[in-house]
Structure 1
Amino acid sequence: MDGSDCPDCSRINEVLSRIGDRWSMLIVISLDYAEVMRFNELKRHLGISQRMLSLTLRDLERDGLVRRTYYPTIPPKVEYALTPLGKSFCAPVRAMGEWALKNLPNIDAARAKFDAEAARTVEPV
C-alpha cells in the first residue's frame, strides 16, 4: 500500500498516536468520571509528573478534546474538562479499559508462559 491508497493514513497515525498514549487515555477517563478537575488534582490522581501532565493537557486541548478554563483569582485557578469531542471519545476509551480489566488474568497467564519458555531457551542473537 502506498500513500495514494490511503492519503490520510499519516494523519490518522498522528491522531491515534496522540489519543492512544497512556496519559491521554487516563486523563480522558479521569475527566469523564469527575467532569471537571484542577491541574494538581489530576497530577495527584494520576501520579504523573508536572511536565508530562502539562504537555499532555496542552496536546489534548490543541486537538479539541479538553477545555482549559482559567480563573484570574489569587492564586490563579485552572480547571480542565472534556469538550463534546472529548466526551465522544469516552465510549471507545471505556471499552478498551473494560477489555483490559476483563483480560488481565489471560494476559498475566500468557506473560508467565512466555517468560517461562524464554527462560528455558536461549535464542541466538
Structure 2
Amino acid sequence: MAQSNAGLAIKYFFGDFVGGVVLFPVWWYTRGLMQAGRWAVGAFSSANRTLGWSIWAKNLFVPMYGETEWSGRIISFGVRFTMLIVRGVGVLVWGVGALALFVFYLIAPPLAVIGILYNAVGSIAS
C-alpha cells in the first residue's frame, strides 16, 4: 500500500530528525567519547614522537660523538639531561592541552544546555 507524501514526510521527520536529536547525547557520551579519548591518547603519543623524548631518555648515558673521556661523558650527560627536561616539559604541556580539550568535550553539552535554559528563562522573565 502506498503512503502519501505527507505521511512519509512526517515519518522521516520524527524518525530521522527527532530521533537524531534524542540519540545525540547517547552517541556523544558513548561512541563519541571513545573517539575523543583515542584522540587525546594519540595526541600525547604524537607529542612524544614529535619531540623524541623517549629517544633522548634511551640515549641519556650514551656519549655524544663517540667521546670516551670523562669530560666528554659529563658534558654529554649534561646536555642530554637538559634536553630531556626541556622536551619533557613540552610533552607535558602538549598532554595537558589534550586533556583539557577532552574535559571540554565532556562538559560542553551540559554547559550548552545550561546556557540555552538560562537565556530562555531570562528572555521570558523580561
Q: Which has the higher strand share?
A: 1
Q: Greater Rg, structure 1 or structure 2? A: 2
Normalised TM-score (structure 1): 0.30
